[in-house]
Amino acid sequence: MGGAASLGLGLALAQPDESVIVITGDGEQLMGIGSLASIAVKQPKNLTIVVLDNGHFGETGMQRSHSSLGADLVAVAKGFGIADSFSVNSTDACEDIAQGINARKQTTFVQVFIDANQPPRMLPPRDGPYIKNRFRAALGLTPF
């Protein structure tokens, strides 16, 4: 976690004729906030970073993230030097963003504010013999 934008930077630099779009969450981007500095220094014209921001750390229990407590990711991106940085308040704008990616010809950072809903969770089983037997069955072997 925290490496999505850096990975996107590497892809954008390695494939300068291809559009690279990084879609990540606010918590993940906050963990890798320094990657925005490297991106700003390199300014790959084919890189777009889209942060889906629900203002919560969904992976660890929906604690409020820094972006819901006043941290402005667009201001941070602009402060690092990504001039084409903006936010939108709904996923309805995503189609416009997607259509404009190839036309922009500059590094772009977009913060998309989304609802912080609690999706249903399914935790994986932790019963060792059950997992072993399920794996063996998937391989066509008999459980024991």
pLDDT of residue 89: 87
Residues in the chain: 144
Residue 70 lies in a domain: yes
pLDDT digits (tens, 9 = 90+) for 110-138: 999 888 876 666 777 889 999 999 889 98
- Number of domain units in the chain: 1
CATH number at residue 103: 3.40.50.970
Q: Is 115 helix (H, G, I), strand (E, B) or coil?
A: coil
CA distance 30 to 54: 13
Going by pLDDT thresholds of 50, 70 and 90, the confidence category of residue 15 is very high
Residue 106 lies in a domain: yes
Q: Which residues pair with 85 in a beta bridge?
A: 109
Residue 143 lies in a domain: no
pLDDT digits (tens, 9 = 90+) for 52-97: 988 877 777 778 788 878 889 999 999 999 999 999 887 677 777 7
How far from 96 is each of 8, 11, 29, 65, 138, CA to CA, in Å?
21, 23, 22, 27, 44
Task: Tell me the pTM.
Answer: 0.76
Residue 18 lies in a domain: yes
- pLDDT at residue 103 greater than cutoff 70: no
pLDDT of residue 117: 75
Amino acid (one-letter) located at 109: F
- Tokens 């939108």 — which residue? 88
